[in-house]
Amino acid sequence: MRFACSVVISLILVIGSSEGSDVLELGDSDFDRTAAMHETMLVEFFAPWCGHCQRLAPEYETAATKLKGTVPLAKVDCTTNTEICERFGVNGYPTLKIFRSGEEAGSYDGPRTAAGIVSHMKKHSGPSSVALISEVDLDSFVDNFEAGVVGFFSGDDSEQLAEFLKASSAMSDSYRFAHSTDVGTGLKYGVVEECVLLFRPPRLNSKFEDSVVKYTKPVSLSSLRTFIRDNVFGLCPHLTTENRETLRESDLLTAYYNVDYIRNIKGTNYWRNRIMKVATQFQGRGLNFAVADRQEFQDELEEEFGLGLSEEGDIPLITIRTSAGHKYSMQEEFTRDGKSLERFLEDYFDNKLKRYVKSEAVPDSNDGPVKVVVADTFDEIVNDPQKDVLVEFYAPWCGHCKNLEPIYKELGEKLSGDPSIVIAKMDATANDVPPNYDVQGFPTIYFVPSGQKEQPQRYEGGREVSDFISYLKKEATNPLVLSDSREEL
């Protein structure tokens, strides 16, 4: 193990944690001292009112308990510890960062579930590559829920081994590595000389693709990284909350059903094989495939696709999510012969499918000084080519949004007589945000000029009425018409 807990550190863990909690509570006064005593520490910067933080809290607490004695987890309340949060550039909640010996090592970009946090952080606490002595060690390493990369080398002095260990150290956060200094260890996989093998998880073995992929080029970080990235997931991987961010970097079709690789591998692969059979017909066309457990993603299916538990659970639900944020769902029931999926994919590639857009109902009345925008009226209001639009993306639970509300309303009132400008807002938790708007925190505000609707400008100024008016005077297409001329600064 990479870490050892001293008596002093153990005492700090006890003192810094709240009663009954394994999460360290740090602040401006003790952050630097405590962080410096841990080789690696994960820190959550949060606000008590933040809905995302509230949802993360039980997962973070569970992860802290499971990682106790290995990697400490800490949290900082940014509403009461502004100095430390400002120093590390925290501008949204929750923000998670990894620290090494008191120094910021980078943002945590792993899953935000207990299991995902534990898996991600454990990779920081052990050797980057496990040494395999025998064929039994190899079998044990390969028989895992995750893929594994194994290098076979001629001896401890192998130059390729040295390069492999460098590469594994750089990529151990993302993949599992092992190595053997006896090429004979991999004899049953056809290993007769130095090489690297990528083992896909045994539960995903299929007649449609190889379960082991061989890499025979000279080992280097860049070439090995490319090889793993291109081969690790295979034709149809198992999408989980831990790997979804990586898999969704590309356009992805997902089949949601009762996926259970613990208690029902055969039943799970029954449907997966039918997905893969169709997938082989559409390879190389820029769309990837995956299967996922619908229970694990039920909240997401309901919120983003309007698909509830009322649908038959053992029949796959098919959706497509593109890297640009466009969404489609298959309306026809999935048939066992795969023909319905074939028709769905043909329509997708022929651009015949209608995108799915989550939207609140259009308001019966929208005469207030701040126009309410929903996804179904976004084009009509925000993309009106004759209007400049200042649009706020908010969340109902967001404290900053609530503080802004009266100021934003006053701004709308002062500009209510201007026919060329619209002050608008949209609940970004209840409506799909167009893909060309980057909304990672709340509130996020954009200015959308008339005639330039494809180039929205993120507003980064102050949050007082005078700040907004000063900005709009500079950016608006036409001179502002204010209801009270005394406000013209």
Least confident of 79-88, 97-106, 314-323: 97-106
Q: Give the model's pLDDT for residue 228.
A: 96
State pLDDT tens for residues 323-347. 888 999 999 999 999 999 999 999 9
State pLDDT tens for residues 355-411. 898 899 999 999 999 999 999 999 999 999 999 999 999 999 999 999 999 999 999
Choice between 197 and 15, residue whose per-residue pLDDT is larger: 197
Task: Find out if CATH 1.10.3720.10 is the number for domain 130-231.
Answer: no
User: Could you tell me which residues come within 8 angstroms of residue 14 by beta carbon, excluding any fewer than 6 positions away?
Assistant: none
Q: Give the model's pLDDT for residue 487.
A: 43
Of 3.30.590.10, 3.40.50.2300, 3.40.30.10, 3.40.50.300, the CATH number of 238-349 is 3.40.30.10
Respond yes or no: is residue 50 known to be catalytic: yes
Rounded to whole angstroms, how far apart are CA atoms 306 and 303?
6
Average the pLDDT over 412-433 and give the result: 95
Residue pair 176/168 in contact by the 8 Å Cβ criterion: no
Q: Give the model's pLDDT for residue 398.
A: 95
Choice between 374 and 9, residue whose per-residue pLDDT is larger: 374
Q: Give the model's pLDDT for residue 115.
A: 85
Q: Give the model's pLDDT for residue 349.
A: 97
Number of C-alpha atoms within 13 angstroms, CB side, residue 344?
24
Q: Residue 26 class from Cβ within 10 Å (0-12 exposed, 13-18 middle, 19+ buried)?
A: buried
Q: Give the model's pLDDT for residue 325.
A: 84
Q: Give the model's pLDDT for residue 4.
A: 36
Rounded to whole angstroms, how far apart are CA atoms 322 and 101?
39
**What mean pLDDT is reported for the chain?**
89
Q: Give the model's pLDDT for residue 125.
A: 65
3 state SS of 54? helix
pLDDT for residue 307 is more than 90: no
Give CA separation, 375 vs 200, 361, 410, 427, 432, in Å. 41, 9, 24, 9, 6
**Where residue 459 falls among pLDDT bands split at 50, 70, 90?**
very high
Nearest residue to 330 (alpha-carbon basis) of 346, 314, 297 = 346
State pLDDT tens for residues 188-216. 999 999 999 999 999 999 999 999 999 98
**Where residue 309 falls among pLDDT bands split at 50, 70, 90?**
low
Q: What is the DSSP letter of 297?
A: T
State pLDDT tens for residues 123-143. 666 677 899 999 999 999 999
Q: Give the model's pLDDT for residue 15.
A: 37
β-bridge pairing 195-199 and 212-215: antiparallel
Q: Give the model's pLDDT for residue 277.
A: 96
pLDDT for residue 80 is more than 60: yes
State pLDDT tens for residues 32-67. 999 999 888 999 999 999 999 999 999 999 999 888
Q: Give the model's pLDDT for residue 437.
A: 93
Respond yes or no: is residue 398 known to be catalytic: yes
**Percent of the chain surpassing pLDDT 90:** 71
**Percent of the chain surpassing pLDDT 70:** 93
Q: What is the DSSP letter of 58?
A: H
Rounded to whole angstroms, how far apart are CA atoms 107 and 26?
18
Average the pLDDT over 244-271 and give the result: 92
User: Could you tell me which residues come within 8 angstroms of residue 396 by beta carbon, excluding any fewer than 6 positions away?
Assistant: 427, 429
Q: Give the model's pLDDT for residue 6.
A: 34
Q: Give the model's pLDDT for residue 170.
A: 81
Residue pair 475/457 in contact by the 8 Å Cβ criterion: yes
Considering the segment(s) 371-487 as one domain, its CATH architecture is 3-Layer(aba) Sandwich (3.40)
User: Could you tell me which residues come within 8 angstroms of residue 276 by beta carbon, excluding any fewer than 6 positions away?
Assistant: 206, 208, 209, 235, 236, 289
Q: Give the model's pLDDT for residue 13.
A: 37
**Where residue 19 falls among pLDDT bands split at 50, 70, 90?**
low
Q: Give the model's pLDDT for residue 34.
A: 93
Count CB-CB contacts under 10 A for residue 358: 18
Check 78, 195, 236, 398 and give the catalytic one.
398
Same fold, 7-122 and 130-231: yes
Q: Give the model's pLDDT for residue 133.
A: 95
Nearest residue to 91 (alpha-carbon basis) of 102, 103, 107, 105 = 107
pLDDT for residue 455 is more than 80: yes
Q: Give the model's pLDDT for residue 83.
A: 95
Q: Give the model's pLDDT for residue 485.
A: 44
3 state SS of 2? coil
Check 78, 195, 236, 401 and give the catalytic one.
401
pLDDT for residue 321 is more than 50: yes
Considering the segment(s) 7-122 as one domain, its CATH architecture is 3-Layer(aba) Sandwich (3.40)
Rounded to whole angstroms, how far apart are CA atoms 340 and 448?
41
Dihedral angle sign, alpha carbons of residues 215, 221, 226, 231: positive
pLDDT for residue 238 is more than 50: yes
pTM, whole model, 2 decimals? 0.63
Check 5, 50, 85, 236 and give the catalytic one.
50
Check 5, 53, 78, 195 and give the catalytic one.
53
Q: What are the domain boundaries of the chain? A: 7-122, 130-231, 238-349, 371-487
Q: Give the model's pLDDT for residue 313.
A: 55
